[in-house]
Structure formats: structure tokens, C-alpha cells
Structure 1
Amino acid sequence: MATCADILRSEFPEIDGQVFDYVTGVLHSGSADFESVDDLVEAVGELLQEVSGDSKDDAGIRAVCQRMYNTLRLAEPQNQGNSQVLLDAPIQLSKIMENYDCDTKHPGLLKREQSSTVNAKKLEKAEARLKAKQEKRSEKETLRTSSPLVLEEASASQAGSRKESRLESSGKNKSYDVRIENFDVSFGDRVLLAGADVNLAWGRRYGLVGRNGLGKTTLLKMLATRSLRVPAHISLLHVEQEVAGDDTPALQSVLESDTVREDLLRQERELSLKIAAGRAEGSDAAQLAEVYAKLEEIEADKAPASISHSCGPWFYPYNATAAYEGVLRRLEDEAGLSPGSLCQARPSALRRTHKHAGCKGHPVVGELPAVVSHDRNFLNAIATDIIHLHSQRLDGYRGDFETFIKSKQERLLNQQREYEAQQQYRQHIQVFIDRFRYNANRASQVQSKLKMLEKLPELKPVDKESEVVLKFPDGFEKFSPPILQLDEVDFYYDPKHIIFSRLSVSADLESRICVVGENGAGKSTMLKLLMGDLAPVQGIRHAHRNLKIGYFSQHHVEQLDLNVSAVELLARKFPGRPEEEYRHQLGRYGISGELAMRPVASLSGGQKSRVAFAQMTMPCPNFYILDEPTNHLDMETIEALGHALNSFRGGVILVSHDERFIRLVCKELWVCEKGSVTRVEGGFDQYRALLQEQFRREGFL
């Protein structure tokens, strides 16, 4: 029987010695990792394609990998599960091991020699992919034995540059640009990015956009954790979509985010104790003086007061973060970063400009490399560039979001025109070839035309993203008013801090109301009073006996069981129905196929929101109360949500900071301020005019 080595030599007689050693080493040490021929193609297919010099197409490479995979599987019964590989004997292990790393955790990874003729980038990328796969397999096995829920892990691999590596190791790289070329990002078995490039230039501000679930948040995590290579002298700050609270006081939590200040204070404590204990060395006093000078330079002593002042009146410094309702999320709002995730380079420069990590306004505008947001106005205000993630690649556009929309449409139109023009040209040539294929007098012309076809670049038609459509089931019935109202309601948690006094509001089944106001003004509290989750201290809450309210929480993830699939989630909430009904309900909101069967914890933020919508609408409510429903949704889904609410035959009250969404849906605004609610019937334009007039009176304009 032919061995894997025999197959390699027969199919690739000119194979580079290093590649031969690498492939046979992978087969020898990692055959247990190859659960299918796809795994083998992923591990060595790209290298074999290069070795073949285009003599074999993708199908040919796959056929070779299939033969080797079959050989491995045939060897398994003989070896009783030892995963040995049939190679040509004898094998001089000592010679092979000279070219291998001594890392026992990842055997099979080669040390590359300068004399090799193989493409070093592709070999390094193949090694990184194999290493990541082995690490992921090991982590999954550990999780499987220790926890009932095994989540997929994100991984990244990229081609390395020896020039950049030498520059990095020498310490001479002073550039604050981030350039990452030819990298892949996967989440479990799903490829999110393939052969992608990203360039972040110092001083420019990038908005990362794309549909939910394509990998935007995962990409930022890969940058923040340096799974993708970022120069070591660039420090990173990562603000995630969801922040979990604990017993740490809020002020301390914000202060600890300033790692430079924390490190200097630690050095100051250690040196002071050392000197006080009489264990000081000659240089300790001078080092302590240097630490004091740096602390004074960044005004470390003023940080607590500065943060408390900057974060606003709702910021209670000594409350535990777990006790704050959305306080950490509000920090993002106050910093101008919501909704989304932030990956910021050089926070040290930000610290020089604004002194402390908790400052509000737009502190990062000067040096914000990448922010994920679905807020058009926010992106138009801060972005100098847009990076569009789609079809497993990244496309860059200069300008803000509106410029991106126009440029993308023009690019897609030109791409489609070029494709159609080339198709017509191909067809024209093919007609000539078919007509004169067997005409001896035209043989040379036919051959020339065939070569012309072969040399034409392969253009692809435009990948049209599917349209997002949402539909809320109607629950409309004619009810006699009042439908839902609060009458002369007082409410407070602490009598010293009155939240509402003599509050009177009402809504009906035709209402489209948006509740607006500053953070901490009581918007979410009023929604809970309307639903009956909170009881008034004084006054009356009235709701029609046939009213069915569907509620979407600002922190809806906390209401979902993350350990089960979306289908099982609905089955537990609404038992006794066929599985097909649960799948159909989820499919209405874009959770279909394998997404519906994956643990909810593994879904993206936007996909979790869709699951929450599916759960909320299952009982067919006739009134919806929505608290920040657009936070994690992509722009296309926000538009679809707006159209769905407009088509819904029932009442809607919502809280949102998305101006475009408010304009699309709401006819009336309720402004929460100073313990009361003011109705604004003129919509968002009238509300903006009122704000501008207020700012003028207070001297801000």
C-alpha cells in the first residue's frame, strides 16, 4: 500500500525538502486532529498548491489530500488508535527533529531555514493555523471534562514578515500605525475572515461596520488580546459591548482602567515600604523620586475628583459596580462611545490630553483607531474612514458613513458593470472558438483566442446582501380607553431622592412614543411603572384587562438562558409546541439553520437581540415597551425593526438614543426631566429645537 510520503513524492516530484518534512511531520504528529479531509486540506492544501506551481487546481489538491486522508484512516485499525501514519521507512527521526521546535505542546511545527525556497509567509501561516487548531482542540477537551457547556473559541492566524519581526525585536519600530496583512479569523469551525488586510493609520479614526454575526466584535478582541500582531510599543484599550459588574466600587473600577497610574502607585508603595523597613538599596531613593515626578506629571492625586465630576450626577463613586443599573454602560454613553466596542491605541496620549480615563465628551476623537457602532450620526461625527466587513473580507473607504454609502454603491455598480462587460467579451470569444474549433485554417486563431480567455482575470458578480425583514404579529383588538396610563403618580426608592412627582401619562393602541432624557432621569423606571413591575408610592396605574405587553429590556441578555440553544430557550418558555414552530418563530428574526441550535452564549450581541425579539413576540402582544432595542443591531436590522413597528397594529413606547430610528417610528416624544414628563407632539425636530433653546439660555450656544 502506498504511504503518505509515497503519495507526496509521486504527485509533487519537485517538492521542497522543508515542505516535505513539514507535511510528513504534521501527518505523523497530528493525524488525530484530522476529523475530515477538509481539516487536512486546511492544514497543508495551500502549501501543496504552491508546490504544484498551478499544475493542480483546487480539485486536484483536494484529491491528493483525500488519498492521504484515506491512508491515515486505513492505518488506524492496525495501530489501535495510536494515530500512527504510514510513511516510507526507515525514518531518521534525529534528522527530522533537527528542523522541529522543542515545544512539546505543539509538535510538528518546523523551524524555518533561510535557505528554503518555499514561501515563508505561507509556511508560517500554515504553522500558525495548525498551532491554533491544536490549542483549540486542547481547550475544548479541557472544557468538555470540566463544564457541561462547551463554547467555541475564536482564533486568528496571519502571515509574518521577517522584516517587521526584526524591526520589532530591535526596538527601532516607532510608528504608531497598525498594519496587519493576510490574516484569517475563525470562530469555532466558521471562517469569519480569510486573507484579510487591515491598515490603521495614526491620527485617523475608523468605523467598523457590517451585519450582525460576521465577526466585528471578534476582530476587535483579536486586536485587543494581540492574537493579531500589534506592535508591542502600542498600548491598547478595549471597551466591550457588555461589562459585568462585581463588588468593586465604581470609582475604583474606573481608576484601575488607568494602568499607568496604577503601576506608578504600586511602585511608590513598594519603594516606600522598602525604605521604611531599612532595606533600601542605593538607587531606590532616586527611583522613588522619579516615580513621584511621574505621578505629579499625570496629576494622579486629582484623578478621583476629576472622574466623579466628569461622570455626572448619577455617578455614585462608592457603590459596587454590580449594584449599578447600567452604570458601566452609561460610562460608554458619557464617553461618546455607545453603542459599540472600542479598541484604542496609545491611551497614554489620551491621558496626557485629558488626564484621566473617566472623562466624558469625546476624549478619544484624536486617536481612535477602530470603533464598532451602528449609529449613523455617531459615525458621521467621528469617523475619517469606514472599514466594511463582509464576505469574509475587509474593504476600506475614506470619509464618514454617508460618504461610505455613496462610495460603496459606486464601487458595487462599477464591479457589476466590469463583470457584465467581461462576460459579454468572454461570450463573444467563445462564439468564435465554437464556430471555428474544427476549421484547420483557423486553428492558430482558435488557439490564440483560447489563450486570451485563459489570461482574462476572473471577475465575480456583486455579492448582494440579503434584505432584512422583520414582522411583529398583530395583536390588535378595539379596546375602549383608557388603555395604559399613570395618574398622579409619585415614585422613589429613597424619600430623599424623588424620581417622579405627580406623573400623569397615557397611551393607546395607536401610540408611537419615544421616551428621551438624560441618563438617570428615570426613563427605564417609568417603563417599569407602566408595565406594573414597580408600584407607585402614590397615584394609580391603570391598564386595560385585555392588554398584553411585550417587553424588551435594555439588558435583555440577562433575561436569556445562555447555556441552551435558541430553540430550547423557546421550548422552555412556551412548552408543548412542535419544534418546527419554534424554528419558524426564530427564523422570522434571522436565527435559522445551525444558529438556532447553537448555545445562545455563542451568538453575537445582535443575534442575541434577535432571539430576545423572537421570545418577546411569541405570545402575540398588543402593546410593546422597548428599552434601547437597537443597541446591538446592525443598521439594516434597525431599519427593518422600524418598518416592522410601523406596520404593527398595536401600541409602542420605546427608549432610544438613535435619532434615525426615532424619526422613522415615533410621532410623539416624552421628555423625562426634573421628576416630570413633558409631551412633545412635534416629533424629534421640535425636541431638538427645545434643546437648542435651553442651551442658549444656559450659555452653551
Structure 2
Amino acid sequence: MLNIHQLTKTVGGRTLFEDAKLTVNWGERVALVGPNGAGKSTLFRLILGQDEPDAGTIEMDEYGIVGYLSQESGDPGEETIMELATGITPEVANAMKVMRECEAKGDHTSKEFADAQDTFDAANGYALEPKAKKILAGLGYKEEEFNKPAKEFSGGWIMRANLARLLVQEPDLLMLDEPTNHLDLLSLIWLQRYLQNYPGALFVISHDRDFMDEIIETVYEIDEQKFINYTGNYSAYEVEREKRYEQKVAKYRSQQKEIERIQEFVDKFRNVGSKASQVNERMKMIEKLKAKLVKPQAPRKIFKFNIPDPPRSNQIVAELKQVKQAYGEKVIYDGIDLIIERGDRTVLVGPNGAGKSTLMKIIAGYVDIQGGSCELGYATKMGYFSQHRALSLNESNTVLDEVMESAPDLREDEARSILGSFLFRRNDVMKRVRVLSGGEKSRLNLVKFLVNPPNLLLMDEPTTHLDILSIEALVQALKQYKGTLLFISHDVHFIRNLAETTIHVNNGTLTKYAGGYDYFLEKSGLNDDRSAVTAS
């Protein structure tokens, strides 16, 4: 249904694609992968007609309907969450409003009500709402929130409503750019199950490898300005990519040996008159072989480094006793207890808004609790990584200076390597902190924690702004971290590899499970509860 031929696009003097081709068939599930800056979002803009290619064609089936979810949601108007999710026109939205007002008055016989109902029926409104309600519930909305104005919600929740609208509409080609960014773990589980039964084609950009493993059957990698096709999910792609690289290396070495063999003949008989024609013929062969000789570019590897051992902490690193916390009339906690012990590796899970980040801020000392106590061990050296704060950064420093000052014993080449693993490459390390984006500041703080770690590391969504290999580098680093780790994440791969204990935060309570992600799903039953809805 989507065919791309000989696509060429240059942005800012850099060629992203050249004579590239790609196909998405009806009902196919496709992922587009590649490092940050490779051109993934640019390709989506080209497909949507928001940008023009330098050369080549992009063809959509004339009967195909395309739906697109971007990483950023625009500001909503006056519509409610339900109106946003059902994607209704202003006329239908007004009809719904009139019907609700008439129903509130007990007026079901007036011409005003009848006209509104006719408009609503013509838009198949009664079929849209039940489906939208199921989808909104799966994505984490409460029923009492359905008719609230969308502008009262955060950008992440508005993105969920926009995602719900697309799932309600069921376009033939559903294009999703980082759809898991604003989802909590349980909503992510629900979305995975829903998309497994989605009737249309999927074209997805994601840094969540487990999400892609669950739903993807074809992977296109942007590599050397081409779209390279792989059959299977993300894990299968990784295996096949390594095989293809090894085959390219073997072919390259074989070509080198062939050139060397022919060159030996040329060198041996170069000055022998009777062999002149044969020498000339072989010299031409060498030129042809050299023209085809291209050294394979090795796939980007996971950078591994050793986190220094933090100072030893007390056995009890932090303890909460009868903690109470509220924001206005909204009570988050009313007398909770929690003990964090040395060496714990704990993930906080639960719906957005349940209080996971609040709990972490209480432990970090970033909010004043309204009741109870939070005590750190006397030897606890606490570090708090928040995706929303640029903590303790010197705006005048370069990126490299900031890291070197954090760990004076670190060599410059080591600092550059670690920064490169977290997407600060070449001249990026010489940027001043003041000019960095929010995502870049977040990544820089992450590196600072890794080169000079505390013995209690609190991390709120540390994988945001990282690509897949950077996430894997962080996983490998934290695996050998000797301190105590408490984190929030919706990245299943990250959780599976690091969590040894799970705390479910919901409705003001903390439920502790003595195991990681899969143990939690098995014992809690939440996997079955939230994944029951399927595309229909």
C-alpha cells in the first residue's frame, strides 16, 4: 500500500537517503530503526507530504487511509477527551453538547434534541463512543475524565487521547512515532496487545525493543543512506544484521586476497615482454576489483564501561514511616511505610498520576512531606536523576568539562567514549551547557551519575531521550553498579534486566513483590486485566 522508489533527501548539506526504496504491504507490521539523526522522522514527514524529496517517488494506494501519531501533541481546543478520542467534527461535538443539555433537563421531545440526534446518528456516533471508552480505559483514563476538557490534561495525556482517536478510526496505515514515550507500564502492555490484533498496517518508529518484539514482523534499518530490509522482529533483525556484516567482511577479505593474488602475477611478470598482454589484462582486472571493493561499515556497538564503586552505605539506606502527602484536596499518600535496603534494585510501577514520581521526590528530599518521616542512613550518598530537571549543571562549562569535573580521575578519552555512547559525538562534547536542549541536559546528567555514582541512585524515566544502543549501554553499566537502585521506567527491556523487586503504586498504597517484571505480572494479574481489549 506504500511504495517508495529511488528516494533522495538532503537536509542541511547532509544526505539522509539516496536512491532508497521501501515497501509497506497491506496489513504488514513494520519498524523503522536507526540512530538518532538518521532521518526516521524526516521519512515520516515525506510520506505525509509535510516535506518534499529531492528525488524519487512516494506512492500510496489511492484507497488507503493514513493515520499519524507524532511525538508531540498540539494544544487542544475546547473539545473534551471523548470528543478528541472520537475525532468528531465541530458539528457533531455541538450535537453531543445539545443532547447532554437536553437530557439534563429531561427534554427528549424538542426539535432541538431531535436535530442534534440526527446529526449524531449520521456520524455513527453511538458506535464510536463505546469503542472510544474501551480504548481510553485501556490507555489509563478513568471514566469520570472522559468528558473533561482536554486542555486540563498534560501533553502526555493529550497524546494518549490522540492515539485513542487513531485506534477508533482504524486507518489502513497507522504511522506511530515513538508511541510509548508517554505511557505507563500497564498502558504499554495494553497497547501491545491491542496492536497485535490491529486490522491495518503498522509503520512504527520506536526505541523500545520489547515493544517492537511484540508487534513487528519486518524491520527497515536506515544504513549508509539506504533502507535495508530484514524479516522478523527487532531481536531477529539484530541477529540477521550481524550475520550480514560477517558475510560482507568475508566477501571483502576474499576480494582483497584475489587482488593480492593477481598483483603477485603482475609484479612477477611486469618486465617480461612475452607476458605484457597478460599483465595489462590483469592490471585492468585489479582496477575493476578495487572499484567494487568497499570495506563494510561495522554496526554500531554497545559501549561498555565500568562504573566506579560508590562508598558503602548503611544496611537501611532509607526509611519512610507513616508518610502523608497531598496536593490540595488530592491525597496521594495517607500513612505509608517503606524500607529501602542496601543493594535493592527496585522498580516503581503503576498508572500515571498514582504517585511514583512523588514517592521518589520524597526520598530525594525535593518535596516537603506533610506527615510522617523520611530518614536516610547516615552513610547514604543520594543521587536523584529526573528527566525534567537539569540538576547541578554549570551553564558555562562545556559538556566535556562538566563530566571531567565530576570525575577528576577520568581520562579525557574515556570521558569522550562514554559521552559518545550517550549521543554526544565529536564536536558535541565542546558545546556549552547553556545551549543544550532539555534532552541533552538530561543525558549529560545521566553520564555524570555514571562516572561518579552515589550509593543510592534514584532514577525517573532514565531511558527518555536515549536510542536503543544507548539504553543497552546504560543497562550494562547499571548491571554492575554496586549501589542501591530505585527507578521508574516504562521500558520493559530496561526493567526486565535490572529490577529484582517491584513496588506497585496505586490508590495511595504500596504493594511490594519480591521479584522483577515477569514475577509482578504473574502475581498481580494486571497483565490479564489490562490486555483483554482487542482491536475490533
1:589 aligns with 2:419: yes
Match of 1:670?
Answer: 503
Query: 327-336 or 309-318: which moved more?
Result: 327-336
Match of 2:317?
Answer: 483
Seen in structure 2, the aligned counterparts of structure 1 residues 414 and 620 have a Cα distance that, compared at 3 Å, is closer
Tell me, in whole angstroms, the C-alpha distance in 1 between the residues paired with 2:321 and 2:381.
20
- Deviations along 1:52-109, one digit per CA (max 9) or x if unpaired, are xxxxxxxxxxxxxxxxxxxxxxxxxxxxxxxxxxxxxxxxxxxxxxxxxxxxxxxxxx
Match of 2:302?
Answer: 468
Match of 2:374?
Answer: 541
Tell me, in whole angstroms, the C-alpha distance in 2 between the residues paired with 1:292 and 1:345.
24
TM-score, normalization: structure 2?
0.74
- Deviations along 1:645-695, one digit per CA (max 9) or x if unpaired, are 122232211112333322322222222234222222233342232144984
Alpha-carbon shift at residue 387 of structure 1 (Å): 0.8
Larger RCO, structures 1/2 (Cα 8 Å, 6+ apart) = 2
Tell me, in whole angstroms, the C-alpha distance in 2 between the residues paired with 1:486 and 1:267.
50
Match of 1:432?
Answer: 265
The 5-angstrom pairing of residues 285-684 of structure 1 reads 295-296=123-124, 299=127, 309=137, 311-314=139-142, 316-317=145-146, 318=148, 321=151, 323-324=153-154, 326-328=156-158, 346=173, 362=194, 365-456=198-289, 458-469=292-303, 471=305, 474=308, 476-495=310-329, 497-545=330-378, 547-553=380-386, 555-556=387-388, 559=390, 567-568=397-398, 588-590=418-420, 591-597=424-430, 609-614=442-447, 616=449, 620-684=453-517
Seen in structure 2, the aligned counterparts of structure 1 residues 391 and 547 have a Cα distance that, compared at 3 Å, is farther
**Structure 1 residues not aligned, in runs of 5+:** 1-175, 270-287, 338-342, 349-358
TM-score, normalization: structure 1?
0.58
Q: Is the 8 A contact 2:132 2:164 kept in 1?
A: no
Seen in structure 2, the aligned counterparts of structure 1 residues 320 and 699 have a Cα distance that, compared at 3 Å, is closer
Secondary structure at the aligned position of 1:645 is classed as helix
Match of 1:202?
Answer: 26
Tell me, in whole angstroms, the C-alpha distance in 2 between the residues paired with 1:291 and 1:699.
33
Secondary structure at the aligned position of 2:124 is classed as helix
Name the % identity.
25
Alpha-carbon shift at residue 432 of structure 1 (Å): 0.8
Q: Is the 8 A contact 1:365 1:382 kept in 2?
A: no
Query: 688-697 or 517-526: which moved more?
Result: 688-697
Alpha-carbon shift at residue 414 of structure 1 (Å): 1.6
Seen in structure 2, the aligned counterparts of structure 1 residues 185 and 681 have a Cα distance that, compared at 3 Å, is farther
Secondary structure at the aligned position of 1:362 is classed as helix
What is the one-letter code of the residue matched to 1:178?
Answer: N
Match of 1:254?
Answer: 84
- Deviations along 1:188-235, one digit per CA (max 9) or x if unpaired, are 344333343222223212111223333323333343324345447555
Tell me, in whole angstroms, the C-alpha distance in 2 between the residues paired with 1:323 and 1:297.
24
Tell me, in whole angstroms, the C-alpha distance in 2 between the residues paired with 1:483 and 1:671.
20
Seen in structure 2, the aligned counterparts of structure 1 residues 236 and 323 have a Cα distance that, compared at 3 Å, is same
Tell me, in whole angstroms, the C-alpha distance in 1 between the residues paired with 2:128 and 2:350.
33
- Deviations along 1:360-412, one digit per CA (max 9) or x if unpaired, are 66358333442111222211221121011233332111222222122222211
- Deviations along 1:265-303, one digit per CA (max 9) or x if unpaired, are 59999xxxxxxxxxxxxxxxxxx9998775237856778
What is the one-letter code of the residue matched to 1:540?
Answer: S
Q: Is the 8 A contact 2:406 2:451 kept in 1?
A: no
Tell me, in whole angstroms, the C-alpha distance in 1 between the residues paired with 2:136 and 2:15.
44
Q: Is the 8 A contact 1:561 1:600 kept in 2?
A: no
Alpha-carbon shift at residue 431 of structure 1 (Å): 0.9
Secondary structure at the aligned position of 1:480 is classed as coil
Q: Is the 8 A contact 1:571 1:577 kept in 2?
A: no
- When the two chains are superposed, the root-mean-square deviation of aligned CA atoms in Å is 4.7
Tell me, in whole angstroms, the C-alpha distance in 2 between the residues paired with 1:637 and 1:345.
33
Report how many aligned residue pairs link the two structures.
483
Seen in structure 2, the aligned counterparts of structure 1 residues 293 and 585 have a Cα distance that, compared at 3 Å, is same
The 5-angstrom pairing of residues 186-197 of structure 1 reads 186=11, 188-197=12-21
What is the one-letter code of the residue matched to 2:383?
Answer: G
Tell me, in whole angstroms, the C-alpha distance in 2 between the residues paired with 1:698 and 1:449.
66
Query: 474-483 or 501-510: which moved more?
Result: 474-483
When Rg is computed on C-alpha atoms for both structures, the one with the higher figure is 1
Tell me, in whole angstroms, the C-alpha distance in 2 between the residues paired with 1:603 and 1:368.
37
Q: Is the 8 A contact 1:213 1:604 kept in 2?
A: no
Alpha-carbon shift at residue 581 of structure 1 (Å): 9.5
Q: Is the 8 A contact 1:193 1:393 kept in 2?
A: yes
Match of 2:7?
Answer: 182
1:223 aligns with 2:50: no
Seen in structure 2, the aligned counterparts of structure 1 residues 480 and 565 have a Cα distance that, compared at 3 Å, is closer
Seen in structure 2, the aligned counterparts of structure 1 residues 290 and 413 have a Cα distance that, compared at 3 Å, is farther
Tell me, in whole angstroms, the C-alpha distance in 1 between the residues paired with 2:163 and 2:462.
15
Seen in structure 2, the aligned counterparts of structure 1 residues 378 and 622 have a Cα distance that, compared at 3 Å, is same
- Deviations along 1:277-332, one digit per CA (max 9) or x if unpaired, are xxxxxxxxxxx999877523785677876665554345734255465374245558
- Deviations along 1:407-429, one digit per CA (max 9) or x if unpaired, are 22221122111111111111111
Q: Is the 8 A contact 2:67 2:171 kept in 1?
A: yes
Q: Is the 8 A contact 1:483 1:507 kept in 2?
A: yes
Secondary structure at the aligned position of 1:505 is classed as strand
Secondary structure at the aligned position of 1:649 is classed as coil
Q: Is the 8 A contact 2:27 2:200 kept in 1?
A: yes
Tell me, in whole angstroms, the C-alpha distance in 1 between the residues paired with 2:204 and 2:253.
36
Q: Is the 8 A contact 1:245 1:323 kept in 2?
A: no
Tell me, in whole angstroms, the C-alpha distance in 2 between the residues paired with 1:698 and 1:239.
21
Seen in structure 2, the aligned counterparts of structure 1 residues 640 and 455 have a Cα distance that, compared at 3 Å, is same
Secondary structure at the aligned position of 2:199 is classed as helix
Secondary structure at the aligned position of 1:589 is classed as helix
What is the one-letter code of the residue matched to 1:296?
Answer: N
Secondary structure at the aligned position of 2:470 is classed as helix
